Amino acid sequence: MSVRKLKPITPGQRFRVVNGYDAITTDKPEKSLLAPKKRSGGRNSQGKMTMRYLGGGHKKRYRIIDFKRDKQGVPGTVASIEYDPNRTAFIALLNYQDGEKRYVVAQNGLQVGQNLVSGTSNVPTEIGNAMPLSQIPLGTVISCIELRPGQGAVMARSAGAFAQLMAREGKYATVKLPSGETRMILADCMATIGAISNSDHQLLVSGKAGRSRWLGRRPRTRPVVMNPVDHPMGGGEGRSSGGHPRSRKGLPAKGFRTRSKTKSSNKYIVERRKK
């Protein structure tokens, strides 16, 4: 994977850094795995704006992704690596031996023609294969991790993300997550070997405001330039930025911990993420 810096022939291209898309093998998605995606523009059922700074954007179709990897013991061949407008990672189309096709989130280094398999026993520890945490060797880099058995992957799914299996004790496995948090997860939960593809995503530079509009983001007003009636950080003479950063509802931001002290899952966190 690589990035390209464009020649500054227009103001919008002067600082633009684009993805090289070396890993992408096709620009035609599998029609049977597409679904319509409705946009609300931040409005509720009454048409009232409930989320600010949303709206517009290019029309998208949702790619149905297999996050559960529950087709066990049946090998699937990687037919293509594709771009997905709904996520930062690339996706891979698998053609299974029984004729079924499924999309999965592509891992870094996945190649067309490679065979992937998921299962609870006798699955080789190779990139793209999915298996329970109880079967994965300690120290392995993993991604697409379940939090509850059968729930489907919910953690480490974005571009370049990965976690590491640190230890196992009893029915729990200890995993170091991308945020830096170390957490206990049931060893029956599935995970995929390897880091997520498109790790160069963090190097991209949009180059112009219009690209944010294409992605469905409207211009955002800074709280410090609002009036006191609109935001706790508004008001004052000139460019005054006194006081502490806080949300529209007055909750402190930038370092203030909002996680509940009585949350039931706190007992599974071995080490909190770094601030």
112 with 246, same domain: the answer is no
Q: What backbone phi and psi angles, to 5 degrees, belong to 57?
A: 95, 160
53 with 129, same domain: the answer is yes
What confidence score (pLDDT) does residue 92 get?
Answer: 98
- Among all chains, which residue has been given the structure tokens 């994965």? 136
Q: Does residue 213 fall inside a structural domain?
A: no
Q: Kindly indicate the confidence band of residue 77, based on its pLDDT and cuts at 50, 70 and 90.
A: very high
Q: Kindly indicate the confidence band of residue 2, based on its pLDDT and cuts at 50, 70 and 90.
A: confident
Mean of per-residue pLDDT scores for the chain? 95
pLDDT in tens, 195-214: 999 999 999 999 999 999 99
CATH number at residue 271: 4.10.950.10
248 with 171, same domain: the answer is no
Q: Does residue 118 fall inside a structural domain?
A: yes
Cβ(101)–Cβ(30) below 8 Å? yes
Partners of 143 in beta bridges: 192
Q: Does residue 196 fall inside a structural domain?
A: yes
Cβ(108)–Cβ(197) below 8 Å? yes
Cβ(16)–Cβ(5) below 8 Å? yes
CATH number at residue 145: 2.40.50.140
What confidence score (pLDDT) does residue 250 get?
Answer: 93
Cα–Cα dist 97/112, whole Å: 15
Q: Kindly indicate the confidence band of residue 127, based on its pLDDT and cuts at 50, 70 and 90.
A: very high
Nearest one of 166, 223, 157 to 192, comparing CA atoms: 157
